[in-house]
A and B are shown apart, each in its own frame.
Chain A
Amino acid sequence: GAGVSQSPRYKVAKRGQDVALRCDPISGHVSLFWYQQALGQGPEFLTYFQNEAQLDKSGLPSDRFFAERPEGSVSTLKIQRTQQEDSAVYLCASSLEGGLPLHFGNGTRLTVT
């Protein structure tokens, strides 16, 4: 595709619900990153894939957060039993072979009520 595509654009979840956020990276991009951006803050790293391998998940805030990229293309970030503090914009970015530049999607704004 022309750019990194994320869906849904907006998601409202009740506390305790599970959510799944999707990222379609640019075709052929090997590296894929997930970031969390709280209101008024800079993006914080969550996890990194190279193809289907999750090479770094040090930024995932709890075991309720899980990410996968089973075929090395589309990735899904899943949050179980959502809490209010999970409310944020979740950004996906991709690049060729871990290099630069990183191309960001427009993000998914998650609101937990």
Chain B
Amino acid sequence: GDSVTQMEGPVTLSEEAFLTINCTYTATGYPSLFWYVQYPGEGLQLLLKATKADDKGSNKGFEATYRKETTSFHLEKGSVQVSDSAVYFCAAIYNQGGKLIFGQGTELSVKP
């Protein structure tokens, strides 16, 4: 079945380091792709999205590019902050109006 796989955590970085969290999806059709973030004690929030190949989603300094050839949607940020510490989830929707399929989440911890 359809699935999303992301790199395992936890990821620990120093402030201002470069961040990459890998995400790949099963190539069944052309899903819309998302990154969600869950800050401690809070609900899931949409961080960014891309709906077709080569689209780049961006928000709050985070970016991810929809790569059809590698079935990937890696999350990147050039300079992380302590406030970016959270759990990040990659997700996909394969049908319009359908259910979101989530990866297992990657915990990011940024140290000052």
A and B are partners in one complex rather than unrelated chains: yes
- Checking A4, A56, A91, A107 against B99 with a beta-carbon cut-off of 8 angstroms, the contacting residue is A56
Q: Which residues of A contact B104 (CB under 8 A)?
A: 40-42
Chain B 64-104 interface residues, beta-carbon cutoff 8 Å to A:
89, 91, 93, 96-104
CA distance A88 to B20 in the complex (A): 28
- Checking B46, B96, B105 against A102 with a beta-carbon cut-off of 8 angstroms, the contacting residue is B46
Q: Are B44 and A48 in contact (CB under 8 A)?
A: no
Chain A 31-48 interface residues, beta-carbon cutoff 8 Å to B:
31, 33, 35, 40-45, 48
Q: Which residues of B contact A72 (CB under 8 A)?
A: none
Q: Which residues of B contact A93 (CB under 8 A)?
A: 44, 100
Interface class of chain B by DSSP: strand
Interface size of B in residues (CB-CB distance below 8 Å): 22
Interface class of chain A by DSSP: loop
A56, chain B: closest CB distance, angstroms: 7
Q: Which residues of B contact A41 (CB under 8 A)?
A: 104-105
B7, chain A: closest CB distance, angstroms: 13
Q: Are B43 and A107 in contact (CB under 8 A)?
A: yes
- Asked if A45 meets B100 with Cβ closer than 8 Å, knowing A40-B105, A106-B43, the reply is yes
Q: Which residues of A contact B46 (CB under 8 A)?
A: 100-102
- Checking B44, B97, B98 against A104 with a beta-carbon cut-off of 8 angstroms, the contacting residue is B44
- Checking A3, A31, A44, A97 against B102 with a beta-carbon cut-off of 8 angstroms, the contacting residue is A44
Q: Are A106 and B105 in contact (CB under 8 A)?
A: no
- Asked if A98 meets B97 with Cβ closer than 8 Å, knowing A91-B44, A106-B42, A106-B43, the reply is yes
Q: Which residues of A contact B100 (CB under 8 A)?
A: 33, 43, 45, 93, 102
A33, chain B: closest CB distance, angstroms: 7
Q: Are A98 and B105 in contact (CB under 8 A)?
A: no
Question: What are the 6 tightest A-B residue pairs by CB atom distance, in nearest-first order?
Answer: A98-B97, A42-B102, A104-B44, A106-B43, A45-B99, A104-B43
Between A and B, 10 residue pairs with Cβ closer than 8 Å are: A40-B104, A42-B103, A42-B105, A43-B100, A43-B102, A59-B99, A98-B97, A100-B46, A105-B43, A106-B43
